[in-house]
Structure 1
C-alpha cells in the first residue's frame, strides 16, 4: 500500500510552560497520562508489554466525538527525553495510515516551549470513511483546535505541579 506523505503539517501549536523540558517530556510521552488533557482521545493502553515511551513501542488510542467512538493503533517513532516525542497513527484494524503527531520541547527562559504538530497521512480514498466514523469533516481544523486545548491543559497541569 502506498502511504501518502503530506509534507506540510495539518496543524501546529505552541505553548510556553514554566516547567523543565524533562518534566514536559514525562507528560507528553505518556499516552495514558495525556488522555487527561486531550480533546478527542479519552483512553490509551500500551501494547506488547510496553509501559514507557520507546521507539517501536505501540499503544491503542480510544477516541470520541460526541456519540461516535473509534480506536487507533499508534507506533512511537521518536522518543528523545526532554526533546521530542512522536508517533504514527493507523486506523484499527485496517492498518490504514491516518496521521503523525509530534511534540518538540525546547528549553526557554523560565521553563520550556512545547510545540505540538500533526500531519495528515490518510489516503484520499479513505477520507469519506474517516468522516463517517469520526463525524469530523475538517480534520485539519479540528486538530488545530484540539492542539490548542491539549497544550493549554498540559501547561495548566505542569505549572500547578509541585516543583
Structure 2
C-alpha cells in the first residue's frame, strides 16, 4: 500500500527572506503586532486579542480572514470570511516572533508561523516561515473525498500558493517598515 502524502512529516515547511533597511527592534515591533498583520497579509483582514497580554507568549489572537474563490479554485476550501485563533508561542524582541494556529475546537495544532530577524551591516534579514508538522484537521476535511493523486496535487498547489503568499507578505512588510 502506498503511503499517503498526508502522512508526510512535515506536511508543509517553507519560507522566504528579504533584506529590510531598518533596525531589528523596528522590524520586531512591526511583525509582533498581530493587529497590523492585516496591512500585509494575503488573507488576514482584521482581528482582536481574546486572551492574555497582546503579543506575549500564551496570548491568543482571533483573526478574521478572507479567501477569494480563485485560490486553488478546484479544491473544496473555505471561501469568503473565516476565522482563526492563534497563540503566541515565542517572543524574542529584535530576533523572533512565532505563533501557533489552533483548531476549530481550540486545540493548538502543529502549525506554526514565524518571523526571524537577523541584523546585518545596514539593516536586517527578515525571514518568514510556515511549518505544518502533521496534517491538520482542516487539511483532512479538505481532502476527505480526494483520491491520493488529488491529495498530492492539492498539497503541491497549496505549497505554491503559500510560497507566493510568504513572498508577497515579506515585500509588503519591507514597504511598511521602510516607510516608517
Q: TM-score, normalised by structure 1?
A: 0.82
What is the aligned partner in structure 2 of residue 108 from structure 1?
Answer: 120
Matched, 1:65 2:77: no
1:18 to 2, 18, 21: 21
DSSP-derived class of the 1:10 partner: strand
Q: Which position in structure 2 is the counterpart of 1:91? A: 103
Task: Give the counterpart of 2:179 among 157, 160, 163.
Answer: 160
Change in 2 beyond 3 A, CA 1:80/1:15 = same
Separation of aligned partners in 1, 2:143 and 2:27: 32
What residue ranges of structure 1 are gaps of 5+ in the alignment? none
Contact conserved, 1:96 with 1:122, CA < 8 A, in 2?
A: no
RMSD of aligned alpha carbons = 2.7
Q: Which runs of 4+ in 1 moved over 6 A?
A: none
Please give the alpha-carbon distance, in whole angstroms, between the structure 2 residues aligned to 1:125 and 1:72. 13
Q: Is the 8 Å Cα contact of residues 55 and 79 (structure 1) preserved in structure 2?
A: yes
Q: Say yes or no: does 1:74 pair with 2:86.
A: yes
Please give the alpha-carbon distance, in whole angstroms, between the structure 1 residues aligned to 2:8 and 2:38.
27
Aligned match of 1:55: 57
Supply the distance in 1 between the matched residues of 2:124 and 2:170 (Cα, whole angstroms): 12
Contact persistence 2:11–2:133 (CA under 8 A): no
Distance 1:58 1:96, change over 3 A: closer
> Residues 126 and 38 from structure 1, CA distance in 2 versus in 1: closer, same or farther, beyond 3 angstroms?
closer
CA distance in 2, matches of 1:130, 1:69: 16
Give the Cα–Cα distance (whole angstroms) in 1 for the partners of residues 58 and 8 of structure 2: 20
What SS does the aligned partner of 1:55 have? coil
Where 2:56 maps in the other structure, the secondary structure is coil
TM-score using structure 2 length: 0.75
> Contact conserved, 1:72 with 1:89, CA < 8 A, in 2?
yes
How many residue pairs align between the two structures? Answer: 155
- Give yes or no for the alignment of 1:27 onto 2:39: no
Q: Which has the larger radius of gyration?
A: 2
